[in-house]
């Protein structure tokens, strides 16, 4: 009862309703809320604090920035909050102005992302020309995704392309990346896709901000060759994987293109099957037979592994129990 009263009291204020309506459409910083709402930063910060304390918003740290979004787990208030948001007057001039400013903000984000991508596109285009077409890789990756998965984590999400492809297959998808510039590109791309079950956040692939055994699928697409310690990346990915969950790794087979190390910051010149499968086994995963996609000068490998199902003393699978506390 107390929790319900807290939710009702918190929502019963005009600015906080405007904030919830915006947060249901996008994750925003304090300064972005200030820009849209036209109110002072202390006032907006106070409203955000109350909404977070009531469990209606989540605060996600990203370097020196913090993003706010509508909480995924609204406890018993889930239907109430969405019902209130659905009942907001469609003809409200105030809400329409908020939406217009949010749209304008997204356009500014997209323009910044486009500028960054144009500055860096040449290096990606050069590497793409050396291997099999992206569409073929994406189709092969999609074919490896289990049909009953609920959650997806894409490590090193970059432009968010893997999220665009795989998000329709799951209930919720998260992409992490260390680069704020790449996250800006991903946000712009995902906003165009119109999917509302996807989010991106800044995080370290060696220390993922997710509980153990909380994710159904983890993807690591063209990331390991940048990693100083690929085995550690795979161990961390295995940690968050649920029993029965799937890890999908896409990267280059061994090659001798040393210019990729010199000109494109590749730490490793591809990986052999026994090398990747050994790391996966050491991380407690069971690897499948790798898939190889030959290109003009680079061969792409897809390595799939699963976390074994475990059974409690009564002989019951704990996969269902592990679904609590997911991403």
Question: For 7-52, what is each residue's pLDDT tens digit?
Answer: 888 899 999 999 999 998 888 999 999 999 999 999 999 999 999 9
Same domain, 145 and 62: no
Same domain, 94 and 143: no
| Domain assignment of residue 118, yes or no | no
Same domain, 141 and 286: yes
% of the chain surpassing 90 pLDDT = 57
Tens of pLDDT along 131-171? 999 999 999 999 999 988 999 999 999 989 999 999 999 99
Same domain, 98 and 139: no
Pairwise pLDDT comparison (24 vs 239), residue with the higher score: 239
Count of domains in the chain?
A: 2
Same domain, 29 and 163: no
pLDDT band at residue 326 using 50, 70 and 90 as cut-offs: low
Residue 29's CATH number: 1.10.10.10
Asked if residue 188 lies in contact with residue 110, where contact means CB atoms within 8 angstroms, the answer is yes
pTM higher than the cut 0.75: no
Same domain, 214 and 272: yes
**Region 259-283 average pLDDT:** 91
Give the model's pLDDT for residue 203: 93
| Domain assignment of residue 110, yes or no | no
Same domain, 83 and 48: yes
Same domain, 217 and 314: yes
Give the model's pLDDT for residue 320: 46
Give the model's pLDDT for residue 116: 57
Identify the weakest region by mean pLDDT among 6-20, 34-48, 90-104, 109-123. 109-123
Residue 230 zone, left/alpha/beta (φ > 0; ψ -120 to 50; rest): alpha
Q: Mean pLDDT in the chain?
A: 87
Give the model's pLDDT for residue 63: 62
Parent domain of 256? 130-323
Identify the weakest region by mean pLDDT among 150-154, 282-286, 301-305, 309-313. 309-313
Residue 142's CATH number: 3.40.50.150
Give the model's pLDDT for residue 317: 46
Tokens 């984000």 correspond to 109
Same domain, 205 and 292: yes
Angstrom distance (rounded) from CA 132 to CA 249: 16
Same domain, 27 and 173: no
* Statement: residue 319 has pLDDT above 70: no
Tens of pLDDT along 161-211? 999 999 999 999 999 998 888 888 888 888 888 788 999 999 999 999 999
| Domain assignment of residue 61, yes or no | yes
Last residue of a domain, one of 88, 103, 118: 103
Sorted by sequence, the CB contacts under 8 Å of residue 64 that are 6+ apart come out as: none
Pairwise pLDDT comparison (288 vs 66), residue with the higher score: 288
Last residue of a domain, one of 85, 103, 121: 103
Same domain, 296 and 147: yes
% of the chain surpassing 70 pLDDT = 90
Sorted by sequence, the CB contacts under 8 Å of residue 276 that are 6+ apart come out as: 249, 251, 287, 290, 301, 303
Asked if residue 270 lies in contact with residue 292, where contact means CB atoms within 8 angstroms, the answer is no
Give the model's pLDDT for residue 117: 57
Give the model's pLDDT for residue 325: 55
| Domain assignment of residue 121, yes or no | no
Same domain, 186 and 97: no
**Region 69-96 average pLDDT:** 84
């Amino acid at each position: 009862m107390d929790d319900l009263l807290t939710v009702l009291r918190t929502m019963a204020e005009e600015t906080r309703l405007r904030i919830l309506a915006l947060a249901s459409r996008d994750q925003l910083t304090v300064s972005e809320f200030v820009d849209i709402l036209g109110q002072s930063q202390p006032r907006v910060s106070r409203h955000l604090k109350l909404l977070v304390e009531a469990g209606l918003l989540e605060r996600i740290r990203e370097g020196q920035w913090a993003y706010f979004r509508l909480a995924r787990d609204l406890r018993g208030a889930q239907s109430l909050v969405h019902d209130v948001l659905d009942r907001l007057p469609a003809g409200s001039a105030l809400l329409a102005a908020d939406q217009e400013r949010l749209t304008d903000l997204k356009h500014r984000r997209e323009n910044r992302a486009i500028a960054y991508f144009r500055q860096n596109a040449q290096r990606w285009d050069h590497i793409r020309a050396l291997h099999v077409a992206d569409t073929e890789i994406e189709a092969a990756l999609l074919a490896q995704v289990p049909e009953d998965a609920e959650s997806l984590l894409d490590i090193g999400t970059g432009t968010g392309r893997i999220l665009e492809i795989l998000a329709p297959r799951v209930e919720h998808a998260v992409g992490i990346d260390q680069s704020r510039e790449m996250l800006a590109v991903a946000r712009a791309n995902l906003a165009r896709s119109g999917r509302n079950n996807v989010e991106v956040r800044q995080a370290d692939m060696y220390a993922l901000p997710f509980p153990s055994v909380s994710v159904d699928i983890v993807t690591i697409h063209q990331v390991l060759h940048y990693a100083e310690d690929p085995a550690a990346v795979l161990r961390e990915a295995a940690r968050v994987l649920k029993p029965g969950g799937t890890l999908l790794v896409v990267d280059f087979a061994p090659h001798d293109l040393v210019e990729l190390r010199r000109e494109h910051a590749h730490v490793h010149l591809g990986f052999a099957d026994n090398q990747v499968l050994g790391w996966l086994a050491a991380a407690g995963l069971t690897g499948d037979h790798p898939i190889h996609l030959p290109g003009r000068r680079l061969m792409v490998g897809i390595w799939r592994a699963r976390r074994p199902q475990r059974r409690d003393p009564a002989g019951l699978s704990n996969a269902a129990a592990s679904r609590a506390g997911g991403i």
